[in-house]
Chains A and B, each alone.
Chain A
Amino acid sequence: GAGVSQSPSNKVTEKGKDVELRCDPISGHTALYWYRQSLGQGLEFLIYFQGNSAPDKSGLPSDRFSAERTGGSVSTLTIQRTQQEDSAVYLCASKGLEGPYEQYFGPGTRLTVT
């Protein structure tokens, strides 16, 4: 039905706290991506999930970042011990297994670490 959804839309947290960001992909889409977009910058790849395969975690910037995808659907990106440089918009995208390569992006979560 609806497009990719993300929650929360905005998150303000104190330095050192943990945060969880949620992504609900388009129903039936087997591929799910997380990106980070800093102000005025492009999209930085973080992690990729495809079905039951092992995720591609090559873009995670540090071991404070982790992500899970349960049941092949909803995904959670967790940032532990947040730092000010983690402030950014975190975008989730999903893609079907077949057909066009286009990625469908969610509205993003704007994370501010104070």
Chain B
Amino acid sequence: GQQVMQIPQYQHVQEGEDFTTYCNSSTTLSNIQWYKQRPGGHPVFLIQLVKSGEVKKQKRLTFQFGEAKKNSSLHITATQTTDVGTYFCAGPDGGSNYKLTFGKGTLLTVNP
């Protein structure tokens, strides 16, 4: 079946450092979504990317969708303690228009 892999599994940074998490799919994706889950919280939708090579920014967060639509990245510039949490990518499962396959996530911790 389809697999969505994320690396790294964990990342610890000093506040102010940059952070990047990578997401790779075993199949071409029609779109990819990113979610953030704060410790003890629930996943919250961040963004959806649809187009090949698409880049979207949300303040200090930059999301990219690869040209082949099989990989994606989330980059955070100058991390803050509020960025702490697990970042998940998710892609349509087998081309489904409703079912998502989630990666295992990258846990980001930030040392103030």
Contacts and interface: CB of A to CB of B under 8 A. Distances in A.
Interface of A: 31, 40-43, 45, 48, 50, 56, 91, 93, 95, 100-108
A97 to B, nearest CB: 10
B102 interface: yes
Contacts, number: 44
B71 interface: no
Interface of B: 31, 33, 41-45, 48, 88, 90, 93, 98-105, 107
Best-buried of A31, A95, A103 by chain B (most CB within 10 Å): A103
Given A42-B88, A43-B88, A45-B93, A104 B102 contact: no
B98 A105 contact: no
Given A42-B88, A43-B43, A108-B42, A103 B104 contact: no
Contacts of B88: 42-43
Contacts of B98: 31, 48, 50, 56, 95
Contacts of B90: 43
7 contacts: A43-B43, A45-B99, A91-B42, A101-B48, A102-B48, A103-B100, A107-B41
Contact of B33 (A31, A102, A108): A102
B80 to A, nearest CB: 23
Given A42-B104, A45-B101, A101-B48, 11 more contacts: A31-B98, A40-B107, A42-B88, A42-B102, A42-B103, A45-B93, A91-B42, A100-B48, A105-B44, A107-B41, A107-B42
Contacts of A91: 42-43
